[in-house]
């Protein structure tokens, strides 16, 4: 099965250094990008599925590296599955769960090492088996550090495939020395280690200072702009300095003023490539399926980051820090074919989607693809696009306002791979 997307106005690689590619066409085979170039080199007419991008901008599927997805409808914020689905239809094709939350979850009060282990295992396997919309990639299963965990527990989890520690701090009553010992066990078994810093969120939680972060050398400074409450600026600056290899995560649900300070600071250090965007959804501020694109817009329009660089912060930069476990986030040969066609909304002064983002206009998708399969054309609450794709020659426009907001078409990929099924009979 060959899929071609051609006639793209621009192709944003998602790679920090490459930016916008010299190309207008991509070829996808067996769910991966196999060729990226110009139409006259790739010959899209030979593909089984031919998607005319109609001059719109192709970007990698967005990756949300910071969520707290619950467990099925047990999620304290009900409707989690529907929210994950809508996030997919808005362009988030991969999600990383920091740790799940649900009623009765065994975590910190009282510390329950057997419970947190069991929770990590069940979430890991549940999300491995279930993909919202049949396509979204959710990396569930994170071990919360609590009193009583032993080194052998980390080995056992790692042997099962669980590869990450839940964001350290915020809730834990473990002393820094105890956290560091546990983190060293996690690291021994190759796990990804994100940390909070500053004051704990929950009662009794410890304050994590820059000495702790320096000793830990985390892979990621989780929501550096506050989750949701920002730490003092001096501490924020210090932790970025003492952990130079750590990703600096900015979340849509954090403190936006702090985001701007961090961007300005990293710009002066020439370290903007360390920034990754996430949502931290939900975090006491509700669900937000479009959080990733909102983050891109904010960083670009208000933080003065070129749109293709802001998109890299939500895609390829995340790959760079998570590459041992994911193969998505860049439009590049060999990567999983997760991508989104975006367009400026009608009336935007931007010349295209990238111009609209830089002007502060939120943009919507005209097609979301995962592993070379179309997941959706748009979400229920996405911004309208000016243009539409043509699928094997047929334009898939919007039929009426109801279809725009409440009943967008849904795609299902037949196992034969031959046809798409549309749930909306207006199409
Ligand atoms: Zn969080």
The Cα 362–Cα 372 span in angstroms is 25
Ligand 1 centre distance from Cα of residue 152 (Å):
26
Please state the three-class secondary structure of the chain as a single string: CEEEEECCCEEECCCCCCCEECCCEEEEECCEEEEEECHHHHCHHHCCEEEECCCCEEEECEEEEEECCCCHHHCCCCCHHHHHHHHHHCCEEEEEECCCCCCCCCCCCCCCHHHHHHHHHHHHHHHHHCCHHHCCEEECCCECCCCCCCHHHHHHHHHHCCCEECCECCCCCCCHHHHHHHHHHHHHCCCECEECCECCCCCCCCCECHHHHHHHCCCEECCCCCCCCCCCHHHHHHHHHHCCCCEEEEECCCCHHHHHHHHHHHHHCCCHHHEEEECCECCCCCCCCCHHHHHHHHHHHHCCCCHHHHHHHCCHHHHHHHCCCCCCCCCCCCCECCEEEEECCCCCCCCCHHHHHHCCCCCEEEEEEECCEEEECCCCCCCCCCCCCEECCEECCCCCHHHHHCCCCEEEECCCCCCEEECCCCC
Average pLDDT, integer, range 353-368:
97
Percent above pLDDT 70 for the chain? 92
pLDDT at 17: 98
Return the ∠ at Cα 269 (arms to 263 and 274), rounded to 5°: 60
The Cα 111–Cα 185 span in angstroms is 18
pLDDT at 111: 81
Average pLDDT, integer, range 375-396:
90
Does the pLDDT of residue 415 top 70, yes or no?
Answer: no
Rg (CA), the chain: 21
Does the pLDDT of residue 403 top 90, yes or no?
Answer: no
Does the pLDDT of residue 427 top 50, yes or no?
Answer: no
Q: Which residues pair with 2 in a beta bridge?
A: 29
Ligand 1 centre distance from Cα of residue 179 (Å):
17
At 224, list the tokens.
């550096």
Average pLDDT, integer, range 16-21:
98
Say if CB 197 and CB 208 are below 8 A apart: yes
Q: How confident is the model at residue 192 (pLDDT cuts 50, 70, 90)?
A: very high
Return the ∠ at Cα 304 (arms to 55 and 268), rounded to 5°: 135
The Cα 427–Cα 423 span in angstroms is 9
Average pLDDT, integer, range 26-32:
97
The Cα 410–Cα 420 span in angstroms is 9
| Domain spans of the chain, in order of start | 2-60+330-422, 62-289
pLDDT digits (tens, 9 = 90+) for 50-107: 999 999 999 999 999 999 887 755 554 456 778 888 999 999 999 999 987 777 777 7
Ligand 1 centre distance from Cα of residue 13 (Å):
28
- In the chain, the N- to C-terminal Cα span, in Å, equals 24
Ligand 1 centre distance from Cα of residue 120 (Å):
15
Ligand 1 centre distance from Cα of residue 96 (Å):
11
Ligand 1 centre distance from Cα of residue 55 (Å):
37
pLDDT digits (tens, 9 = 90+) for 262-314: 999 999 999 999 999 999 988 767 667 899 999 999 999 999 999 999 999 99
Domains 2-60+330-422 and 62-289 share a fold: no
pLDDT higher for 410 or 64? 64
In this structure, is the dihedral angle defined by the CA atoms of residues 240, 244, 246 and 247, taken in order, positive or negative?
A: positive
pLDDT at 177: 93
Ligand 1 centre distance from Cα of residue 166 (Å):
9
Does the pLDDT of residue 109 top 80, yes or no?
Answer: no
Average pLDDT, integer, range 229-240:
96
Q: Which residues pair with 221 in a beta bridge?
A: 195, 248
When mean pLDDT is compared across 27-41, 113-127, 217-231, 276-290, the lowest value belongs to 276-290
Q: How many residues does the chain have?
A: 427
pLDDT at 218: 98
pLDDT at 390: 94
Ligand 1 centre distance from Cα of residue 170 (Å):
9
pLDDT at 72: 58
Ligand 1 centre distance from Cα of residue 195 (Å):
10
Does the pLDDT of residue 425 top 50, yes or no?
Answer: no
Ligand 1 centre distance from Cα of residue 196 (Å):
9
Domain 2-60+330-422 has CATH 2.30.40.10: yes
Per-chain mean pLDDT for the chain: 91
Does the pLDDT of residue 328 top 50, yes or no?
Answer: yes
The Cα 307–Cα 276 span in angstroms is 14
Does the pLDDT of residue 412 top 70, yes or no?
Answer: no
Does the pLDDT of residue 36 top 60, yes or no?
Answer: yes
Ligand 1 centre distance from Cα of residue 266 (Å):
22
The class level of CATH for 62-289 reads alpha beta
Does the pLDDT of residue 114 top 60, yes or no?
Answer: yes
Ligand 1 centre distance from Cα of residue 94 (Å):
16
pLDDT at 76: 46
pTM score, whole prediction: 0.95
Does the pLDDT of residue 405 top 90, yes or no?
Answer: no
Average pLDDT, integer, range 311-339:
98
- CA 200 from centroid of its chain's CA atoms: 25
pLDDT higher for 206 or 339? 339
The Cα 259–Cα 273 span in angstroms is 14
pLDDT at 181: 97
The Cα 30–Cα 115 span in angstroms is 39
The Cα 417–Cα 399 span in angstroms is 26
The Cα 38–Cα 8 span in angstroms is 10
Ligand 1 centre distance from Cα of residue 98 (Å):
6
Q: How confident is the model at residue 397 (pLDDT cuts 50, 70, 90)?
A: confident
Does the pLDDT of residue 421 top 70, yes or no?
Answer: no
Does the pLDDT of residue 219 top 60, yes or no?
Answer: yes
């Amino acid at each position: 099965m060959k899929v071609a997307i051609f006639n793209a106005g621009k192709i944003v690689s998602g790679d920090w250094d490459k930016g916008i590619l010299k190309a207008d066409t991509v070829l996808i085979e067996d769910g991966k990008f196999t060729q990226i170039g110009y139409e006259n080199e790739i010959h899209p007419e030979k593909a089984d599925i031919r998607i005319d991008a109609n001059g719109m901008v192709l970007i990698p599927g967005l990756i949300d590296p910071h969520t707290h997805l619950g467990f099925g409808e047990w999620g304290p914020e009900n409707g989690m599955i529907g929210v994950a689905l809508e996030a997919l239809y808005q362009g988030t094709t991969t999600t990383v769960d920091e740790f799940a939350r649900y009623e009765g979850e065994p975590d910190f009060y009282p510390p329950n090492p057997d419970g947190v282990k069991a929770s990590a295992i069940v979430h890991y396997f549940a999300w491995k088996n279930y993909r919202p919309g049949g396509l979204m990639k959710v990396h569930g299963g994170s071990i919360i550090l609590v009193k009583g965990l032993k080194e052998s527990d980390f080995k056992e989890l790692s042997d099962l495939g669980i590869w990450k520690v839940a964001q350290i701090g915020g809730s834990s009553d473990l002393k820094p020395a105890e956290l560091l010992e546990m983190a060293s066990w996690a690291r021994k078994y190759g796990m990804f280690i994100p940390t909070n810093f500053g004051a704990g969120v929950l009662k009794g939680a410890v304050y994590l200072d820059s000495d702790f972060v320096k000793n830990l050398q985390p892979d990621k400074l989780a929501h550096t702009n506050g989750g949701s409450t920002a730490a003092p600026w001096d501490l924020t600056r210090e932790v970025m300095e003492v952990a130079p290899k750590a990703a600096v995560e900015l979340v849509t649900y954090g403190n936006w003023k702090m985001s701007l300070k961090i961007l300005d600071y990293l710009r002066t250090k020439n370290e903007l490539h360390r920034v990754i965007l996430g949502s931290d959804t939900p975090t006491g501020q509700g669900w937000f399926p479009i959080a990733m694109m909102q983050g891109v817009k904010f960083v670009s329009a208000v933080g003065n980051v070129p749109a293709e660089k802001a998109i890299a912060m939500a895609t390829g930069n995340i790959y760079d820090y998570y590459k041992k476990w994911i193969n998505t986030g860049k439009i590049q040969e060999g990567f999983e074919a997760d991508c989104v066609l975006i367009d400026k909304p009608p009336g935007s002064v931007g010349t295209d989607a990238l111009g609209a983002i830089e002007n502060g206009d939120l943009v919507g998708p005209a097609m979301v693809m995962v592993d070379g399969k179309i997941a959706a054309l748009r979400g229920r609450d996405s911004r309208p696009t000016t243009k539409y794709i043509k699928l094997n020659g047929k334009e898939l426009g919007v039929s009426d306002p109801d279809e725009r907001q409440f009943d967008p078409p849904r795609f299902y990929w037949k196992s034969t791979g031959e046809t798409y099924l549309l749930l909306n009979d207006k199409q």
